[in-house]
Structure 1
Amino acid sequence: MENENTTVQLSKLTRQPDDCSRVLVAALESGDIETSVALYEPSAVLFKKSGETMTGLDAIRENNAGVIALKPKFTIEFITFTLSGDGTLATNRMKANLAFVKPDGTLVNTSVDTLEVLRRQADGSWRYIIDDPYGSMRAGMKQR
């Protein structure tokens, strides 16, 4: 469960929308499940590669634990964000290469090209409300 320390730390680390992508990548690489989940609002939606969605922190925790178990290594090519006119919502797009080892020992090199929607919090930090790791690629994906 998210603790107060994690919340205070995140409010300092996520002052811009694109900070969330950097913090999430670092949390997944380091195995920090609490930070990886605390980046999301309680009713946030996360897309699976298949296009199905999962909603809420319990589902996101389960998903992120599975990603952490793969010991992923990300190489970020770029992160860009766009703010809404009133500055309360933002979209992030991140392109990153991803390497991990499957349980059978097979090395996988792939990429993510994300589309994320974030909301500014009362303390000025940002959290995900919709996260699609394949969002910018989805139209060209054969598997849905």
Structure 2
Amino acid sequence: MKLPVNAHEAHRSLAAAYNTGDLKTVLSMYDTNGIIVAEPGNPVSGREKFEAAVKGILGIKGVMEIKTVYCLESGDVAVGRSEWSIKDGNETKVAAKGVELLKRQPDGTWKVLIDHAFGAEGSLGTE
């Protein structure tokens, strides 16, 4: 899978990666030295924990959709706000509002450095 060359394409590329169901493809979208919050209140980092978090998301059967609310880019970093869901037919398995920090790679592509899948949910307080 090709990494996005524009920061505002990252959400679409991330959803496409998750929809392959392939761990390696999904992990290629991330800088696994970063942080992922795949469940509220549980930020993890480090390759092993990162992989476990992604496997947990991949275990939710259905199709992921990610809508970009905004993507603000400055130099080699960008911040995105998303609304995402995983649906199986008409059943919504999970839906949330996320915040992502993206980093431009030396080859000009973008990877997600910090993915707080629930970061824009009003009920999370200051997490």
User: What is the TM-score when the length of structure 2 is the normalising length?
Assistant: 0.82
Mapped partners of 2:7, 2:123: distance in 1: 26
Q: Is the 1:70–1:100 contact (alpha carbons within 8 Å) kept by the matching residues of 2?
A: no
Mapped partners of 2:86, 2:94: distance in 1: 5
Mapped partners of 1:96, 1:59: distance in 2: 22
1:27 aligns with one of 17, 30, 39? 17
Q: Paired residue for 1:126?
A: 110
RMSD between aligned residues? 2.3
Q: What are the within-5 Å matches in structure 2 for residues 1-144 of structure 1?
A: 9-10=1-2, 13-84=3-74, 87-100=75-88, 108-137=92-121, 139-141=122-124
Unaligned runs of 5+ in 2: none
Aligned length: 125
Identity of aligned residues (%): 22
Instruction: Tell me the secondary structure at the aligned position of residue 66 of structure 1.
Output: helix
Greater gyration radius: 1
Mapped partners of 2:29, 2:67: distance in 1: 21
Q: Which moved more, 1:23-32 or 1:119-128?
A: 23-32
Q: Is the 1:37–1:57 contact (alpha carbons within 8 Å) kept by the matching residues of 2?
A: no
